[in-house]
């Protein structure tokens, strides 16, 4: 189906699906949030919220679909219930918030900052610690967090105690963790400028997309070779082994 979301007056920037309760939550460039429900083949507004202070940078439902965590660029956080009640809210004054992720058991929430740091809070909003970022050891200068995805185990695990949390940075570094406290994660140096990443449906493969610079092309009629930047998708196993690389034509 194709339906215009008429409740928004600005560009929709964030969208998240609640599979358990069959709802869609959207947010636009003005910070307006709408929860949509499917009724007789069409989507209808169920709830509307606008904090009127900042723009939503990310939203995620927990694995049960009963709670949603909303993060704003200015550091604001709101956790609400599926029936529209506010559970808790706070200001995280550690820099701009970029992304949020629930743990598979819904006990902790990860908050990714624009400077690359990742904060660990419990489900009630209490700060616990920071995720140790081993893949950035010996890296100096600015980095940007571009992927923080936790496979929730809905389809089981490929092996007991295999990594399920993937953290990726724009400079090509990633780490695959067994938990948010993993002190021996699998480290990846992809060699590309990463733009995004995602697990497949059963957590056996991680796709990492980005730009590979300076790919050598075949020689021209003049006998001179040339280079250009190429879009690529790399596929890794849950244990960080490369399984396939695909160059994507533009």
CATH classification code of 1-130: 2.130.10.10
Number of Cβ atoms within 10 Å of the Cβ of 250: 6
Whether residue 177 contacts residue 133, with contact meaning beta carbons closer than 8 Å, is answered with no
pLDDT of residue 223: 56
Cα–Cα distance, 68 to 60 (Å, whole number): 6
pLDDT of residue 52: 81
| Structural domain boundaries in the chain | 1-130, 143-250
pLDDT of residue 225: 60
Cα–Cα distance, 77 to 70 (Å, whole number): 6
Model pTM score: 0.90
pLDDT tens digits for 103-145?
Answer: 999 999 999 999 999 999 999 999 999 999 999 999 999 999 9
pLDDT of residue 222: 56
pLDDT digits (tens), the chain, 250 positions: 777 778 888 899 999 999 999 999 999 999 999 999 988 888 999 999 888 889 999 999 999 999 999 999 999 999 999 999 999 999 998 878 999 999 999 999 999 999 999 999 999 999 999 999 999 999 999 999 999 999 999 899 999 999 999 999 999 999 999 999 999 999 999 999 999 999 999 999 999 999 998 766 655 555 566 678 899 999 999 999 999 999 987 6
């Amino acid at each position: 189906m194709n339906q215009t979301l008429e409740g928004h007056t600005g560009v929709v920037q964030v969208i998240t699906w609640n599979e358990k309760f069959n709802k869609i939550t959207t947010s636009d460039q003005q910070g307006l949030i709408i929860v949509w429900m499917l009724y007789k083949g069409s989507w209808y507004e169920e709830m509307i919220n606008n904090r009127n202070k900042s723009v939503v940078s990310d939203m995620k439902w927990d694995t049960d679909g009963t709670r949603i965590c909303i993060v704003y660029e200015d550091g604001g956080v709101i956790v609400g219930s599926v029936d529209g009640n506010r559970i808790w809210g706070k200001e995280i004054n550690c820099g701009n918030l970029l992304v949020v992720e629930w743990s598979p058991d819904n006990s902790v929430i990860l908050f990714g900052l624009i400077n690359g740091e990742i904060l660990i809070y419990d489900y009630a909003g209490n700060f616990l610690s920071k995720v140790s970022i081993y893949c950035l050891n010996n890296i100096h200068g600015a980095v940007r967090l571009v992927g923080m995805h936790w496979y929730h185990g809905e389809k089981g695990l490929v092996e007991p105690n295999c990594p399920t949390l993937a953290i990726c940075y724009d400079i090509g570094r990633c780490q695959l963790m067994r938990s948010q406290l993993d002190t021996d994660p699998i480290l990846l140096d992809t060699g590309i400028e990463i733009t995004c990443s995602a697990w497949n449906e059963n957590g056996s493969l991680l796709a990492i997309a980005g730009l590979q610079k300076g790919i050598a092309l075949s020689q021209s009629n003049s006998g001179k070779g040339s280079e250009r930047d190429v879009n690529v998708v790399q596929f890794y196993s849950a244990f960080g082994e490369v399984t396939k690389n695909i160059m994507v034509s533009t």
